[in-house]
Structure formats: structure tokens, C-alpha cells
């Protein structure tokens, strides 16, 4: 059975997609810890990040960095955090999170009902920042 992330990648479940290339996608988290919280997900269903092919792991990190730079431009946080936990979905995903402090990484504090208008505005701002930085993989869906 495909993971929820594969179903998102395949367009079966709606998302706010920011990035799409032949190896991975990135989209806004539906339970964000902060404005602009994104997930970077390989197209291949790999459960543990330690099982990723090194080239794919490097690519995910490169995409995460690009998104983190866009988040810095848009949200001006103190830091951009990167988490690879893997408990929520058995499909590797990097959490790229604008943060003001370590307290911003508490998943118990995730927004369970984020405002759709805020998510849409964050999506468009991040897409624009990525496009302005010259990235061709900015999603249009």
C-alpha cells in the first residue's frame, strides 16, 4: 500500500507543493510548527533515512538548503531547522522549519487547524523566493 506521501506525490491527496523534480518533492506541512514549515520527500518510498542511496540523500539536503534559504528570505527567522524523525510516516521526509528558538521544534505544539489563506500566502511567497533564486523545479500545482 502506498504511503500518504506517495499519494500526495501522485496527486491523489491535495497538497501545497513547492518543489518538484525527478527525485523528490517538497510541500507545506499540513500541521506546521511555524509559517513555511516544509517537508522534502523523495519520490522513492524509503522508510529509514539511513537506507537512502548517498546521492539521493545529498539531493534531499540540497533541496532542503534551497528551501531553507527561501524561508530565510520570506520569514526572517533566527534559524532554519532541519529534522529527520521518521515516526509519523514510514517514508523518509526532511522537516525544514523556520524557527526563533528550540521551543519551535515541539511537535506537540503543531498547528492542527492552520488558516488556509495563510498557508496559501506562505506557498506563493516561498515559490516566488525559489523562482527569484533561479530554481527551475518550483512547482505550479
Q: Is 117 part of any domain?
A: yes
95 belongs to the catalytic site: no
Nearest to 122 by CA among 70, 61, 83: 70
Q: Is 11 part of any domain?
A: yes
Which residue segment(s) compose the domain that 105 sits in?
4-132
pLDDT, residue 141, reads 82
Q: What is the CATH number of the domain that holds 40?
A: 3.30.428.10
Q: Is 76 part of any domain?
A: yes
Q: Is 94 part of any domain?
A: yes
Considering the candidates 37, 93, 95, 135, report the single residue annotated as catalytic: 93
Give average pLDDT by consecutive 10-residue segment, the chain, 141 residues: 95 97 98 98 97 98 98 98 93 98 94 96 98 96 82
Kindly state the cell numbers that stand for 86.
521518521
Cα 126 to Cα 38: distance, rounded to the nearest angstrom:
10
Q: Is 139 part of any domain?
A: no
Phi/psi at 53 (5° precision): -60, 140
From residue 5, alpha-carbon distances to 66, 81, 112, 128, 138 in Å are 21, 21, 18, 24, 18
Phi/psi at 16 (5° precision): -110, 85
Q: Is 44 part of any domain?
A: yes
pLDDT, residue 120, reads 97
Q: Where are the alpha helices (DSSP H) in the chain?
A: 4-9, 54-75, 116-132
Q: Is 140 part of any domain?
A: no
Q: Is 8 part of any domain?
A: yes
Domain count, the chain: 1
pLDDT, residue 86, reads 87
Angle between helices 54-75 and 116-132 in degrees, nearest 10: 110
Amino acid at each position: 500500500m502506498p504511503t500518504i506521501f506517495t499519494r500526495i506525490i501522485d496527486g491523489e491527496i491535495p497538497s501545497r507543493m513547492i518543489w518538484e523534480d525527478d527525485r523528490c518533492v517538497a510541500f507545506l506541512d499540513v500541521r506546521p510548527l511555524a509559517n513555511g514549515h516544509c517537508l522534502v520527500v523523495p519520490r522513492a518510498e524509503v522508510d529509514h533515512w539511513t537506507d537512502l542511496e548517498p546521492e539521493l540523500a545529498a539531493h534531499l539536503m540540497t533541496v532542503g538548503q534551497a528551501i531553507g534559504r527561501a524561508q530565510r528570505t520570506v520569514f526572517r527567522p533566527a534559524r532554519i531547522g532541519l529534522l529527520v524523525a521518521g515516526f509519523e510516516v514510514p517514508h523518509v521526509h526532511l522537516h525544514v522549519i523556520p524557527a526563533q528558538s528550540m521551543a519551535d521544534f515541539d511537535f506537540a505544539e503543531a498547528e492542527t487547524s492552520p488558516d488556509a489563506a495563510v498557508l496559501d500566502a506562505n506557498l506563493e511567497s516561498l515559490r516566488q523566493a525559489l523562482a527569484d533564486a533561479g530554481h527551475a523545479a518550483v512547482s505550479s500545482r
